[in-house]
Chain A
């Protein structure tokens, strides 16, 4: 099975900082990669699909890139409302549709 890893596991940054989260697949998954944001007690919210396509309604400060095995989620200017845990997930390729372990983002 393909394993998904994320780094860092947590980060603390200042408002306005550029934040980058990395997701790595143990084998190539083309661009079948989604990014989710989850706030405590809330349902995960899809931010990015197909590695780089912004979901409707998601602020443009979020962007995704990558293909194959290495992917990144970038928040161009961190806002207080972006405090959350972020997950990557491989999908649409062969199952299992594994999630990464998550990256917790908070404000310094």
Chain B
């Protein structure tokens, strides 16, 4: 069974940093591209970042470019999102998702940026 479990969310002050993790199981992690998607409270879904299976291709939404870094460790079956210079508008539930045409998403982790 495919499982994606996010962790690392929490309360952080504006300008602070946080590192999200996504532990994957039930599939050959190293064979799939992975994604981060977020949803601010009461708002719609926003694609954040994607990384190819071997980390050769990395993409970011303009809203996070230069502040967030996506990475993966295929030996540990894990996906990461390093978030720096956090702003109030980054407050959201962050989901990790496998390739978008398979429907595998984690349960999400809440990031709150507030003083």
Contacts and interface: CB of A to CB of B under 8 A. Distances in A.
A99 interface: yes
B101 A97 contact: no
Contacts of A97: 35, 47, 50, 100
A92 interface: yes
Given A43-B95, A43-B105, A44-B105, A99 B100 contact: no
Chain A interface size, under 10 / 10 to 19 / 20 to 34 / 35 or more: 20 to 34
A1 B62 CA distance: 10
B63 to A, nearest CB: 10
B45 interface: yes
A16 to B, nearest CB: 27
Contact of B59 (A49, A87, A95): A95
Given A91-B101, A99-B44, A43 B108 contact: yes
Q: Which secondary structure dominates chain A's binding surface?
A: loop
A64 interface: no
Given A95-B50, A96-B61, A45 B103 contact: yes
Given A50-B101, A98-B47, A99-B47, 4 more contacts: A49-B100, A95-B47, A99-B37, A99-B44
The 4 nearest A-B residue pairs measured at CB: A46-B103, A91-B100, A49-B101, A95-B59
B115 interface: no
Interface in B66-115: 95, 100-103, 105-108
B100 A89 contact: yes
A96 B59 contact: yes
A13 B108 CA distance: 31
Contacts of A92: 100-101
Interface in B31-54: 35, 37, 44-47, 50
17 contacts: A1-B62, A43-B107, A43-B108, A44-B95, A46-B100, A49-B101, A49-B103, A85-B44, A87-B44, A87-B45, A89-B47, A92-B100, A95-B59, A96-B61, A97-B50, A100-B44, A102-B44
